[in-house]
Structure 1
Amino acid sequence: MSSKQPPKGPQTREDRLKAALKANLGRRKVQARAKAAQQSGDKPAKEKE
């Protein structure tokens, strides 16, 4: 494990962008699963977290 310290001040721009990208990717995956399930006539699978 790494011994990174949490940022003391506001997040850096890179950290904010990384978090936003991760959240966006998660939303897009959920949308893609729902669309695929809708097209195949299946019920959407429950989201794992």
Structure 2
Amino acid sequence: MERKSDKSTPKKPAETREDRLKAALKANMARRKAQARARAASDKDETGEKGS
């Protein structure tokens, strides 16, 4: 069996590393934003319940 290769030029190791880092940063930022939204929502709920 032959290995199927991409028709595009192979990337340099530095480029693949940068792509991996970029993807990891994007995922990390999305996770942190979700956490911040959840905290803000729970803080809002807690402060609303205290006033009642």
TM-score by length of 1: 0.64
Name the % identity: 20
Q: Residue 46 of structure 1 corresponds to which residue in structure 2?
A: none
Look up the SS of the partner of 1:41 in the other structure.
helix
CA RMSD of aligned residues (A): 1.6
TM-score by length of 2: 0.60
Look up the SS of the partner of 1:22 in the other structure.
helix
* Higher Cα Rg, which structure: 2
Structure 1 unmatched runs, 5+: 1-7, 43-49
Higher helix share: 2
Name the CA distance, whole Å, in 1 between partners of 2:21 and 2:9: 21
Greater relative CO (CA pairs within 8 A, separation 6+) = 1
